[in-house]
Structures are given as C-alpha cells and as structure tokens.
A and B are shown apart, each in its own frame.
Chain A
Amino acid sequence: MSRMPKSSRLRQLRGLPEGLGTTLHYLWRRRVTVDYPERQRPVAERFRGLHILDRYDDGLERCVGCELCQAACPAHCITVEAAENPPDHPFSPGERYGYRYEIDLLRCIFCGFCEEACPTGAIQLTPRHDLVGFSRQDFQVDREWLLVPDPRTETLAEEGAR
C-alpha cells in the first residue's frame, strides 16, 4: 500500500462534515418516497399499465376474437383464438368470441396499440402497474386473468353473502 501525501488526507477529513451537512439538510425537507405498497403515488391520467379485458354492462364480454390487437402489437406478445359463441350461453354478443386470449407481459412494451386497435374496447390498459411474479409463467396472463369480474355473477355472489 502506498502512502498518501499529507494534503489529500486533510481533504478526506474535510469530506466528513460536508457529507453530514447534506444529510442534515435533507433531514428537514419534505419526503419524496411513499410507503409502497401501503400508499401509492398517483399516476398520470393516461398512464398505460396492466391490461384488462372489459365487459359490457350486461356482463357479456366485449372481445370478439378479431385478432386486431394481436396484429397491432409490435412486441408480438398477444395470442388470440376465436370460437363460435355457444347459442345457449354466449360469451359475447354476436357469433364469435375470443376463447383464448394470452399476453406475455414480459414482452409487452405497454405501448397501448392493442387498445387502440380494438374495435370493441375490450382490451384496455389500466393504471395498475404492480407487475410482479415469481416465475416467467406468472407473466403469461390469460383470458381468465384479464377479464374483469362479471357483474352478473358478482351480484349473485354478493347476494349469497348477505
């Protein structure tokens, strides 16, 4: 180990009160961090976070499986497959619904093109951004994960609880 010249040792000593000064200075200023996740910062009104698949007010799914979101997605992370609506319990209005809907959220760049392409307003990006998981599979979300709760079954469940 080489010996330091005297002058630089003095400079090092000077650093200690300088640093403590910075600490003391910020100690009395307003905090910018929040107690995430108990408290959350508000996000911009048009923030693009995690997706949902929306429903109409009567509970029918909006997605008709047209694959336009899949075609628009620059990250190629959406997979849609359509099927014929069962006539006695249709999933969506009309002949066709999206029976398979998957997004690989790890590949998604949250550009919102899917939302823009969708003719029925089914796929939407919400302000939610808690994108966490323990494995890659956790980020491959499917139709069940994406679909918002069905108001019909919701009400039933609530009534049952009462």
Chain B
Amino acid sequence: MSDSAPAPQLVNVTIDGAPYAFPKGTLLVDAVRQVGHPVPFYCYHEKLKPAGACRVCMVQMESPRGPMIVTSCTTPVGEGMQIQTMSDGAREARRQVLEFLLINHPLDCPVCDKGGECDLQDFTLRYGPGVSRFAEPKIHRMKAHELGPFLVLDQERCILCQRCVRYEDEVLGEQNLVLHGRGDGTVIDTTRGEPYAGHFSGNNTELCPVGALTSQTYRFKARPWDLRPTPSVCQGCSLGCNITVQRRGAEIVRLLARENAAVDGGWLCDRGRYGFGTVRADARLTAPQVRRDGQLVATSWDAAIDAVRQGLTLHGQRGIAVLGGARLTDEEAYLLGRLTRAVLRSNDLDWRTGAQRFAAPEAIGCHSAQVTDIDAADLIVIVDTPVGEEVPVLALRLRRAAARAGIVDIGPERNLTVGRAERVACAPEDLAEAVRGLTVRVAEAKMPLVVWNGSGDGELARAVAKLGAPLLVPGEFANARGAEAAGLLPDLLPGYRSMAEAAAVSEAWGGGPLPVKPGRAAAAILEAAARGDLGALYLVGSNPLGTFPDGTLAARALDTIPFLVVQDLFATDAAVHADVVLPALGPFEKTGHVTNLAGVRQEVQAVAPGPAGARSDLDIFVALAGALGATLPATAAAVASEQQALGRAEKPAMVTVLDRFTSGPHEIDGLRLLVRTQLYAGGGTAAFDPNLHVVRGEPRLRIHSTDATALGLRSGQFVIAEGDGASMRAVIELDDGLEPGYVAFGAHTPGANRMGQRVRLVLAGENGLASTVPVAAMGVNRR
C-alpha cells in the first residue's frame, strides 16, 4: 500500500461488551484475536482465503432476530456488530464441533508427531467436552501413508480443514493434494495417488493444524518441549529465506519458516527445509589430507597448512589463483579477498565458478529491486532463469504476481512453470535481441521488473541494463552478492572499488603493497592452468568440474595444475585432484552474515559444531596467513567491523561481464543441449546431503514430447549420452515446458558440462549397457 492511500474506513464493533474499531473488511476472527480474546480455528489461516470448513471458530452475534452463531473466519466486521466470544451459545457450539471432530479421531497423541503442539489437543482441552458420547467403532483409514519423499500422511488424524488443499491451490497453483471421497469417507491424497512431486511439500506440515501431514525427516525425532530454537537463514539459494533451526540436544531435527515479509513471505522450499543433512553426513571430510606418493593421506592441521605454505612457495612464482567464495559468509569472503591480495599478492581471484557473471544489479548499471517489488510490479520480465529450480520461494511470489501482472518469460524453456505468462521462445544466443525487443513495453510499464540470473554474456548484460528497469539477480550460489561486495573479483576491490583505489584498501589492510594489475577471470584462470601457465590453484568451496559451463576446460586445468588446494565440506571430484584438502565447516556451523539477491544482509548462526576435524573457512584463512607471516583479524565480528569501516566506494565500479564462453552451443543428435539449474541435482552440498538423497534420483534428460516421439523415446527410458569429453546415463523425462529442438540436463549433473560439441544418444539396454543403435539413426535434424 502506498503512503498516499486514504486511511481505511473504520467500523465500530462491540466485543464481549467493550467497544472497538477495525478497518472495514477485517474478518471477525482477526478482530477478536487482535483484542486478545482467544477463539479457536483450524481451517482459517492468514495466508489462505477463508473457507469456513471446520466450524470451530464460532462466536455469537446479536441480530434483529436474536442471537446468531456465526463462523468468525468468514464474517467481516460490520458497523454496530455485537459479538460475544464466550457466551453459552458460542461455547456450546464449539464444544459440539470438537466432539464431532473427535468421533473418528484415533487419539494417537502418544505416537503422533504433533503431540504437544497440536491445535486439536489444545482446543479440545480448552473448549471441548471432556468425554465423548460416541461409542460406535471408529472408521479406520490409511496411516503412515508416504505421500512423497518428505511427506507422511495419517488420514485418520486429518480433520479435513483443507488448509493443505487450499495452500496447494492458492499458493502453489499445483493441486498436488486434493480431497477424495465424500461424507465420512473423505480423505486427503495426491491427485491420482502418485508420489507428491512438488518442491514445496514441507510447508504443508506447518500448515496442518493436526498431526495428519508430518515430515519424514522429523518423524519420531522429538517432542516440541525438547527443542531449542535458533533464528538463522537458509543458505540453499541466493534468496536467504529466514528459518528457525530446532535442535534436540546437539542434533538439528527440523527447520521451520520464520516469516520475513521482505524475503520469503513465510514459506520454505523442500530443499531449504530438509537440506540440513550435510551437518551429520557420513561423507563429510573430517581431517586435512595431503598428497604423499600420489595418495591423499590424512594428516594434522599444522602439517596441512605447512604443506600449503610449501606448495605455494614452490609453485607461487608461476602464479597463484583463487576460485570460489560465493558460498562463504560475507566476513569469510572479505577475508579471502584480503588473503589473496595482501598475502598471496595475486589478483587472480574470482567467485564466478558457474555460469553467473555478476551478482548485484548495480554491477552492470541497473537498479536493485527488492523482493517485494514483485508484488507491486505490473510488468515482470523473466530472462532465461528457471526460477522454480533456482530460487524456489521467489518463484512462489512470481506465481502470485502472474495472476495480476503481465509476465514475459524469455528463453528456450518455460521459466515460470505455474501461472499465466507470455512466452518469448528464443535460443540462448538470441536472448539479447529478445530483451531489446521489450524496450518499449518496459518503458511504458508503470513498475517494470526484470528477473535474470546473470548467466550470459556482456551483450545480454548490456541489453538488460538498457531496459532501465529494476533487476533481481537470483543466482545459483547462496552468497554471490556478498562475495562480489567483498571484492572476490579479478578487477574489483572490496566495496566495488576499482583497482585505482588500491592505496586506500592497502592502508586499511595495514599497509604493504597490493598488486594493482587487474587479475584474470575464472575462464582465463582455468585456461592458463590448462596451458601450464599457473603454478597453484586454491579452490574455496567451489568445484569448477561440476559448475563451470565449460567442464572440459575445468578438467584440463585441474589435471595440469602443479599445485591444487581444495577447501570444501566433501570430497568433491575436484578434491580427488588436490594436493592438499582442507575440511571446512558449512551452513549451520558458522556464524556471520550473508547477503541475499536483493542486497539484504542477514545473520546466520552456528547451531552445530560440525565434524571435529573441520575448521571454519575464516579460521583456515587466518591460519594460512599466519603460516605465510601475515596477521588477519581472527573473528567474524572483527572482520565485519573492518569491512564496515572500509565501506563502499563512492562511485561503485562495474563488474566486467565480457566472458563469452568458448565452448559454444552443444548439440545432441541435432538437438541442442542446455545445462539448466535443477533443484536437487547437486551443487556444493545438496549432492552429498543424505536428507535429499531420496529426491535426487537418476540424472534426467528432459526433452519435448514431439522430439521424443520422433526419436522413439519414452518417458522413463534410460539413454546414454555420449560426448567427446564424457558420457552419462540419464533417464528420459518428457517436458513440454522446453521448446522443441532442445534437450536439457540438470546443471551439476556429473559430466553434463563436459560432453563436448557432439553428443549422441544411445539407448541403454536392460543391463545398463548401451545397445548399439544410436538414437539418431531414427533421427530428427534441426538447425
């Protein structure tokens, strides 16, 4: 609502004898609760439309025809209304409703995960009858019914409030859960009994007022009174949804949404909600490793840090480069920048180990948009960004906006999978042209907004900047914006300072000359390494083999580099090449700040100690600097105050977005290969998260159904994609959101970025071996 909106009209209401005034349109249930009178409710929820399904919220209203019992969740306040919340009539009505709700209820409380925080328990205790008159046998329904990878439904406990059904419909627009049957046979289930497939199932467990929908990961883990809450922020993607981490003892048992209207609107995606398994994953690195006689062997921290020092001294004169940092906290990213420039004396530093080229809209000369601008925008342009896979909770906001605003969805596949959008289908190299084509419409819009993940070349960046609309950059790394602001770029110093300001930065860093010649960007670093022009490479929470668009180049670079240090949570495929592996702490294990895609700086809290042998990235940087004879501030707070004191450049410099990827378009049997972000495919942590293991499944190859038919491929069939550089087995998934002529792999699917120019599909036989018939023999040929 803008400031100029007229003050809302007030309506006078008497509640339990006291006069109040509420804005017109307020629902009675809200009015009554606002003034502190408790009223029970099940089906009502602030974020859902009123349904009047459960009838437990009844209050008594005076009317010309005498007292009436009304459901307060469906009745808006009216002038002169007289409401009694605790009259005998209202109390009796609720008592009867509760007695009815319980006639077939299993009263499973001792074995029910909701016990202790269940509205049915609480309201029955407060408003319900003490005993039931119902002596007939209860109706039995499905118990412990696994709806999907994360959701368990107990149909007997369901009170049919339909919060889940309405959430699926109104918030997700997906209708994954629906009502089946009628009368006392009514149950909740997925539409056709298929496994729940959406990305947002977990919100149902918070919406369900009873223990009907519960989480697989929390099943029988704890009681609410065991739990200690810590506010923190999800680091699953660049949105940074606010969460409450609940622990029992030292173990994280569940995450709840902690509403921040400016960021998440109170929802979480399943990756965020359930992706806390990394903390206790068996695969975590627990001790530093050093390569001796060709083998990585576990060693002490002192020995590992010394090995890094020796390696850097030995190979350093041929150049040291640092890649990564977009998954660190702001403080750690800043310290990594200082370590690289002031101690390692190198500007070969880049967080951009994926396809994303920049993080802050200002970095390409745009204005930053706020997440809430989506709610007010009248024209939203989504440029080739699979929002639902990349920043799922932001996609929910876009889906809601789609009902009201015009959405233009540009790219080779449908970016907004739910909701009305105008598609502008175009090939990746024609994106800039398509964006330029929108100039007039954007100029005419009152509140335009562009959503682009920043993966593309300089031409597209210029085209987007030229539109002049506020921009949101939902990138693939959680803290890309923090890393960029901390100066993890070859040609920018902290606070978007150009290299010309090196003197000022050097002063803040305690003197000592800084290298002033701009360094090399990620692609150039990898090329130099592949050529043998680089002595040492330090990967900090990054794995170019999995994320860099040209995986072949990354592979050659890691093969050739004389000295490789990998600092990560897990033994990634990059760690296999390493000379020294440093085990780091990850999300939930560090305190600091992260900056989300809209520039909101939020605090993350350490809630788990992490593996005993691992150290925080901050501690590692400090130790490394110490070994090289330099002193860095040793706490997150000290780093933050130093960074704050340094501040931002008065005139922020822009990020260079010129990289054109040399690898060019890939082709598969005449179909073009796209590598697209896919929620559970991998990245830094999801690939190793045991909680997400169930949803990761086989690598998928998505293809339009007409192409599939032409190639004789069926959904669910296994194929082997054979490229020059790599081959991989994948299961065919028909997806008509993709334009015909394309096939798509999930980014971070091992090998997807290493296939090379020519790829052919081979049917995988029953035994997993390739049959000899290339699919192209039946071939379509396009382009």
Contact = CB atoms under 8 A, between A and B. Distances in A.
Interface in B103-120: 109-111, 115
A148 interface: no
A66 B219 contact: no
Interface residues of B, number: 12
Interface string B65-101: 0000000000000000000000000000000000000
Nearest to B144: A95
Given A95-B143, A95-B144, A82 B220 contact: yes
B219 A71 contact: no
B111 A95 contact: yes
B429 interface: no
A83 B220 contact: yes
Majority SS of interface residues in chain A? loop
Given A84-B219, A84-B220, A95-B143, A66 B225 contact: no
Contacts of B109: 66, 119
Which residue among B109, B110, B143, B219 has the maximum number of chain A CB atoms within 10 Å of its CB?
A: B110
A104 interface: no
A103 to B, nearest CB: 17
Contacts, number: 29
A133 interface: no
B433 interface: no
- Chain A interface bracket (under 10, 10 to 19, 20 to 34, 35 or more): 10 to 19
Interface in A90-104: 94-96
B62 interface: no
Nearest to A84: B220
A120 B109 CA distance: 12
Interface in A9-68: 64-68
A96 B220 CA distance: 7
B226 A66 contact: no
B33 interface: no
Contacts of A83: 220
A67 B111 contact: no
Contacts of B223: 66-67, 71
A65 B225 contact: no
Interface string A112-147: 000000011000000000000000000000000000
Contacts of A94: 111
A17 B371 CA distance: 100
A64 B111 contact: yes
Contacts of B143: 95
Nearest to B154: A95
A119 B121 CA distance: 15
Contact of B226 (A64, A65, A67): A67
Contacts of A67: 223, 226
Interface string A67-99: 110010000000000111000000000111000
29 contacts: A64-B110, A64-B111, A65-B111, A65-B220, A66-B109, A66-B110, A66-B111, A66-B115, A66-B223, A67-B223, A67-B226, A68-B110, A71-B223, A71-B225, A82-B220, A82-B221, A83-B220, A84-B219, A84-B220, A94-B111, A95-B111, A95-B143, A95-B144, A95-B220, A96-B111, A96-B220, A119-B109, A119-B110, A120-B110
Interface of B: 109-111, 115, 143-144, 219-221, 223, 225-226
Interface of A: 64-68, 71, 82-84, 94-96, 119-120
Closest 6 CB pairs between A and B?
Answer: A66-B110, A82-B220, A96-B111, A119-B110, A67-B223, A64-B111
Given A66-B223, A82-B220, A95-B220, 7 more contacts: A65-B111, A66-B115, A67-B223, A68-B110, A84-B219, A95-B111, A95-B143
